[in-house]
Amino acid sequence: MSEVHHGRGYVYSIQYHLVWCVTYRHHILHGDIDTYVKKLLNQIALDNDSQIIEMESDKDHIHLFIECKPQHYIPNIMKAFKGVSARLLLKAYPELKKSLWGGPLWNPSYFVATVSENTDEQIRHYIQHQKKK
């Protein structure tokens, strides 16, 4: 069950399920690259005052289950996760540019859904089992 948080003059519990793909759905998220991108995403979440509850990737896409404050705006959260991770990942692994024909790391679109107490466990289970399909 999700926690209720208290802000200055408000009480909230806000969770989102976020998914985005590698450009052209190339299978690049494995081994050290997969480990590094997850480390980056955790740091980006911390830097943006949000929390990753669950995270998993499956070769060509990433699933995050995050918790954030009411002040957060989803397009800004996605810009931070995708923009910062792409810049740092391509800097650390410049050979990825060849796999992507010199294009961007992430596809420009994404999926977002709100998560409620009723769907919390379903989303966690789904994300945890991404690589087990």
Element (H, E) at 78: helix 74-79
* Cβ-Cβ contacts under 8 Å for 73 (sequence gap 6 or more): none
Q: What is the pLDDT of residue 122?
A: 86
Question: Rounded distance, CA 60 to CA 82, Å?
Answer: 14
First to last CA, the chain: 26
pLDDT for 133 equals 58
Catalytic residue ranges: 126
Q: Which pLDDT score is estimated for 86?
A: 97
Mean pLDDT of 14-30: 96
Nearest Cα neighbor of 53 from 98, 1, 10 is 1
What pLDDT score does 1 carry?
Answer: 55
Torsion of CA 77, 112, 105, 52, to 10 degrees: 60
- Tell me how crowded residue 22 is: count the other CB atoms within 10 A of its CB: 23
User: What are 78-106's pLDDT values in tens digits?
Assistant: 999 999 999 999 999 999 998 888 889 99
